[in-house]
Structure 1
Amino acid sequence: MIVVNPRPRSEGRSAGRFGRLAATLAGALAVLLAPAAALALGAPDTAARQVYLVDLSTGAVLMDKNGETRMAPSSMTKMMTAYLTYEATVQGRTTLDTTVPISQTAWKMGGSRMFVKLGSQVRVEDLLRGLLIDSGNDAAVALAEGLAGSEPAFAALMNAKARELGMADTHFMNASGWPDPNHYTTAHDLAILATHLIRDFPQFYHYESERTFTWNGIRQGNRNPLLYHPVSVDGIKTGHTEIGGYGLTASGERQGRRLVLVVNGLPSAQARNDEPARLLDWAWNSFRLYPLLRQGELIGQAPVWMGAEDSVPVTVARDVAVTMAPMDRGSLRVVTTLSEPLPTPIRRGDVIGQLRVEYDGAVRQRVDLVAGADVPASSGLTALGQRLGWLFH
C-alpha cells in the first residue's frame, strides 16, 4: 500500500519501482500546496426540508439535508416521464413526430396543464414541451398512455427504470406526480435521476431549459425560476403539492463544474426562487475542482510474478479529480493498494488494484488501477530461473 498526502510520506512497499508511484502521486498533489485564501465553510441553514447537492464533475456530495428521507416528488416526477420518453425515442419505439390521441383521462386532469383538446392528436415533441415547460399533468398522462397503453402500465415501467438507475427508495404511482401515499422518492434519488437525464440524453436536455411554450393559443412560461436568474442554471424541473411543499431539481454549469441540486419542502414559491440560487452560489463559491490524474496516465510500475517482463505499468481507469474546500487540502490522502507480485498473464486494462481518495476523514472516491500493457507469462528457462529466484528470495 502507498499513501500520499500533501506532505508526502510512504508506507509499505514504497521503495524501488513502487516508490515512483508515490513520487508521481506526490507531484499530482503538489498543486494543492499552492497558497489559497481559506473560505468559510459549513452547510448553510435552509428552510427546505430536504436538500441534496452534488458536483457531477467528481460525484462529491456538497450538501445533504435529509437526502434519504422519503418525500412527495410532486411534479418532479415528470423527470422520469421525460426519461422514459427519451429512451423510447432513442430506441425507435416512438418518434418526436409520432402523434398521441388525447383521452378523456388526460384531458380532464387538474392542476397545471398544457390545455390539450379532448380527442385531438398531439405530437410527442409537443407533449414533451408541455410536460417540461408547462408542467402539464395532461401531457404526462397522454405520454404515459401513448407509450404504455395506460398510466398504471407506465407507472410499472417507471418503477422498473428507477430500480435500474439505482433509485433505491422510490415508488411511482402515476406519471405526473399527482398526490398518492404510495408515490414517493428521496432527494438523493431525484439527484440520481437528474444525473442520468443529463448524461444519458444530452440531445434532449434543451427542452428542460426552454423558457416559454405556446399551445392551443395559450402561452406559458417555464416554472423553473432559476432560468430567469443569473445563477448559471439551465434545467430541470419544479414541483409543488400541499404535502410535498415547493420543490425544485436544478442543474447548471459554471467554470467547467456542473452541479445538481434537489430541494423540497420549501414554504412558498418565493422561497423556491431564493433558496436554490443561494445554495448553488454557496457551492460554486466555496468549493474548487482539483484535477489529480488523467485516465491512462502512467503513475508507476508494479512487479509481476512469472512474466515475460518483470513489471507492468500502472495507470488509472478514469480521470481523477476532487471537489473540495481549499481549507480541506491539508487532509487529502491518496492511497493505492496492489497485490504484489501480480500473477501473469496480464492484459492491458486488467484491474490490478485500487486508488482511494480521502479527505476530511472520509473516503471520497475509489478508482480502479489498471495495467497499462500486456505482460505474457514467462516460459522455458526464463520461467525456471524466475521460480528459483523467487524461492531463494
Structure 2
Amino acid sequence: MNNFTFYSPTYFVFGKEQEEKTGSYIKRFGGSKVLIHYGGGSVIRSGLLDRVKASLTEEGIDFLELGGVKPNPRSGLVYEGIKICKENKVDFILAVGGGSAIDSAKAIAAGALYDGDFWDFYEGKPVDKALKVGTVLTIAAAGSEGSGDTVITKEEGMLKRGAGGEALRPVFSILNPELTKTLPAYQTACGATDIMAHVFERYFTNTKEVEVTDRLCEAVLLTMIKEVPKVIADPNDYEARANIMWAGMVAHNNLVGVGREQDWSSHNIEHELSALYDCAHGAGLAVVFPAWMTYVMKHDINRFAQVAVRVWGCHMDFTHPEETAMEGIHCLKQFLTSIGMPVTFKELGAKEEDIPALAEKIGLEKDETMGSFVKLTTKDVENILYLAL
C-alpha cells in the first residue's frame, strides 16, 4: 500500500425530506448571500426548488438563481455565474441537481475568487480557494457531492476537461433518495454505470497488497449489481435507491482509492465521446470501459481474474486465468446491456470515421502517455476505440 493522506470534510445529511433543512445548513456553514444553481425543469416541476427556496427564506438568507445547466455542463453558463457572484457579492453557492449542476457550481465557486479566466483551472492551474459550495443531490451518479472534482465542457472547440482541489469539496450535501425516484430508467442506468466506472478506475492498479480497498471496491460493485436491476424494475424502491445513492458518494470521495495508484484513462477517453456526440457520460463509459479492459487485460491477468471471481462469481481457471478474466469482462457487458446501456459505437451513435480525431483531441504529445495501470499513447487510444466498434 502506498503512503496517502485522506481528508473528506463534507457534512452529509441523508434521508427523506432533508432538503427542507437546506437553509439551516447554509447558515451553519456561514452563507449569507447565495446563488442557487440548477438545471432544467425537473427541479421546478417536482417542487424541489420551491422547497429549497422556502427553506432559505425561513432562515432569512438572501439568494439569486441561475438555472439552465445542461448535461456535460458548458463554460458559457459558468462565465455567467461568475459575473453574477462578483457583481452581487455572493458568498455561497448551492447546487440543486446532479453532477452537472454541482460541477458547474464548483467552477463558478473557483472563478468567483479569481481575477483570470476560470478555464485556467481546467488547464492545470491549482484551485487554492473557492466560494463555499453546498448541494441538494437529485441523481446518484457523478459522486461530485462528496469530491473535490469538477468537469466542464468549453464551448470553443468543445473541449471537455477536469479540475479539482480540496477547496472544491462541498461543505455539506443533502442526499434524499426519494428525489431520484422520478428519474427515467436510462438516466438511472447511466448514473449507475458512472458509479461503477469510478470504482474500476481505482481497482485496476499496479499497487500491490491493497486488500482493504480492493474489498471496499468489490462491495460497491456488488451493491450496484444487486440494487440497479431493482430500481429499473421498480423506480419507487426506496431502499435500493438509498443504497445506490450512498454507493455513488463512496465510489468517488476517494475512500476506495486511498493508498493505491489510480488510472482514469477510460474517463479521459470518454470525455471526448460526450464532448463530440453530447451523449450521457455513463453511456460513453459503458462503451469505453469494456474495450479498455480487453485492450489492457494481459498487463495483469490475475487482477482481472480476481474481479471476475469476486464480483461476477466466475469460476477461477488456474490453468488459463485469461479465460476467467475474459469471462468477467463478458459479464460486465451483459450487465450493462441488461440495464439498457450501449456497449458498442453503433449503439451509442458514434462513428468509426471519427476515431482518429477523437484520439487526437485528447491532446497527447508525440512521446506523451496517459493513465497509470497501462500507459497509453494516442495510437493505443485509437486501438481501444476500434475495439468498441
Superposition TM-score, scaled by structure 1 size: 0.26
Whichever structure has more strand as a proportion of its residues is 1
TM-score, length of structure 2 as denominator length: 0.26
Of Structure 1 and Structure 2, the greater helix share is in 2
Larger Rg: 1
